[in-house]
Amino acid sequence: ISVLICRNYKGDVDMAEIDHFLPLLMTQEEEGLTCPIMSHGNVHFLWIKHTNLYLVATTNKNSNASLVYAFLYKVVEVFTEYFTELEEESIQDNFVVVYELLDELMDFGFPQTTDSKILQEYITQEGTKLEVAKTKVPTTVTNAVSWRSEGIKYKKNEVFIDVIESINLLVNANGSVMSSDIVGTVKLKTMLSGMPELRLGLNDRALFALTGRDKGKTVTMEDVKFHQCVRLSRFESDRTISFIPPDGESELMSYRINTHVKPLIWIESVIEKFSHSRVEIMVKAKGQFKKQSVANNVEVRVPVPSDADSPKFKTSTGHAKYVPEKNLAVWTIKSFPVTLACPVWKNDEMEGKPPITVNFEIPYFTVSGIQVRYMKIIEKSGYQALPWVRYITQSGDYQLRSNF
């Protein structure tokens, strides 16, 4: 393993210090104590792994670790936007572009332009002749709204809002919910001309408490994280989400709701032993959401022993297949609102007790009840714009432990 590419921004850490990183990492891996921050003398290594690459930041000061990690993950995101796949080969094939990006992403140890859409305006992967017009720095790099270019025009002005909630759930073998929470994101696809000002209103409990309104369903959001375009001071003072949006697709915000979640898809499993080498398991899936809702692309993943010999399946709907490399039986159902059954397989007894996992997606529905109350679009030219809202609930880490 060797250093592919290196950039020393401040010159206060010797370039040779990186040679100590790999021996430290291997020692920790052998001891089973891998740590995201390692030290050698007064130099600290903060690192992440992506595919077959290690991205390592070095510092000899008490740096803000969360800032460093946020930057490293941003580097991965930008490089992936440029090269599709971020791996050793894509770095070797694009040394010049990588160095240009590193120089724009950070200056003297401080993150600078990290928006890939803006970077792509003046760092391209195509060879171009030097022209005076092209040497001018885009205004997006120097103005206060670095995430949006000026002069954007659309024939039809629209903004699409996706509210996507993922459910993390763990149910024990007795059917009790051990842990549950909701992780939500609000994503935008903005097709608006000029430099519009947007204001987003949600049924936020804290906002309703501030304004003295307490009508209807409200939600309490925790760990709220915003895109850099949102005016944080405004949100902190009166909970208004006010911003000039990036053009195209972006993630406006994410949040977590720590609440007891009723399992939306309930799984029952019954085991029946016929002999030492023959076992039959019945798996039933039942939807526990509103009748008008439908779960799409449902996938029930049932653990299978590693020595299973030719498992056989029968399904009342959908289809089941054996995935031997993952020791799983995967039952796929396009959509369902009713109880379904799948007698799974005949084989040897299970070793260990891996949980059943479920993947699904329920459109037009949020389990928390979060709602977009309004989206105001203000632009100096006064054009009319259409906001569209879509709600989706999907599985996150959704596990149900079984008795078999």
CA 148 to chain centre: 23
What is the chain's length?
404
Give the start-end residues of each E strand in 155-203. 158-171, 177-191, 197-202
Q: Specify the pairing of strand 356-363 against strand 386-400.
A: antiparallel
Give dist(CA 237, CA 234) in Å, integer. Answer: 5
Q: What tokens appear for 85 in the block?
A: 């796949």
Q: How far is CA 372 from the centre of its chain?
A: 21
Q: Are residues 247 and 379 in the same domain?
A: yes
Residue 257 and residue 372 in one domain: yes
* 372 plus 338 within the same structural domain: no
* Closest alpha carbon to 183 in 232, 128, 255, 120: 255
Q: Are residues 38 and 176 in the same domain?
A: no
19: domain range?
Answer: 15-120
Q: Are residues 204 and 280 in the same domain?
A: no
Render pLDDT for 33-53 as a digit per residue (tens, 0 to 9). Answer: 888 999 999 999 999 999 889
CATH number at residue 109: 3.30.450.60
Both 254 and 377 in one domain: the answer is yes
Whole-structure pTM over 0.75, yes or no? no
Cβ-contact 399, 179 below 8 angstroms:
no
Number of domains in the chain: 3
- Is there a contact between 141 and 118 (Cβ–Cβ < 8 Å)? yes
pLDDT digits (tens, 9 = 90+) for 7-24: 898 888 888 899 999 899
Identify whether residues 214 and 253 lie together within a single domain: yes
Evaluate whether residue 141 is within a structural domain. Answer: no
Q: Tell me the pLDDT of the chain (404 aa) as tens digits.
A: 678 889 898 888 888 899 999 899 988 888 878 889 999 999 999 999 998 899 999 999 888 999 999 999 999 999 998 888 888 888 888 888 899 899 989 988 888 888 887 788 778 765 333 344 444 455 555 556 778 888 899 999 999 999 999 999 999 988 899 999 999 999 999 999 999 999 999 988 777 666 666 566 788 889 999 998 999 988 888 888 999 999 999 999 999 998 888 899 998 888 777 766 677 788 888 888 887 888 999 999 988 877 777 788 888 888 888 888 888 889 998 877 655 555 555 444 445 578 999 999 999 999 999 999 999 999 989 899 989 999 999 999 999 988 65
Asked, for residue 149, whether it belongs to a domain, the answer is no
Stated as kind and residue range, the H or E segment containing 286 is: strand 278-287
**Cβ-contact 21, 14 below 8 angstroms:** no
- Is residue 139 assigned to a domain? no
Q: What is the CATH number of the domain that holds 187?
A: 2.60.40.1170
How far is residue 330's CA from residue 313's CA, in Å, rounded to a whole number?
A: 10
Distance separating alpha carbons of residues 23 and 2, to the nearest angstrom: 12
Question: Do 359 and 378 fall into the same domain?
Answer: no
Q: Quick one: residue 35, left, alpha or beta (phi over 0 = left, psi -120 to 50 = alpha)?
A: beta
Euclidean distance between CA atoms 95 and 232, whole angstroms: 37
3-state SS class at 91: helix
Same domain, 275 and 320: yes
Residue 204 DSSP symbol: B
- 372 and 255 in one domain? yes
| 103 three-state secondary structure | helix
Answer whether residue 129 is part of any domain. Answer: no
> How confident is the model at residue 128, as a pLDDT?
38
Closest CA to 285 of 350, 214, 356: 356
Give the count of alpha carbons within 13 A of 251, CB side only: 9
Residue 254 lies in a domain: yes
Is 243 contained in some domain?
A: yes
Outline where DSSP puts E strands in 61-157.
106-107, 110-111
Is 81 in the same domain as 210? no
E-strand stretches of 75-129: 106-107, 110-111
Residues 376 and 358 both lie in one domain: no
Distance CA 120, CA 101 (A): 10
Task: Convert 270-297 to b/e letters by CB count within 10 Å (16 or more is b).
Answer: eeeeeeeeebebebbbbbebeeeebbee
- Separation of alpha carbons 383 and 373, rounded Å: 21
Identify whether 133 is part of a domain: no
Q: What pLDDT, on a 0 to 100 scale, did the predictor assign at position 174?
A: 87
146 within some domain: no
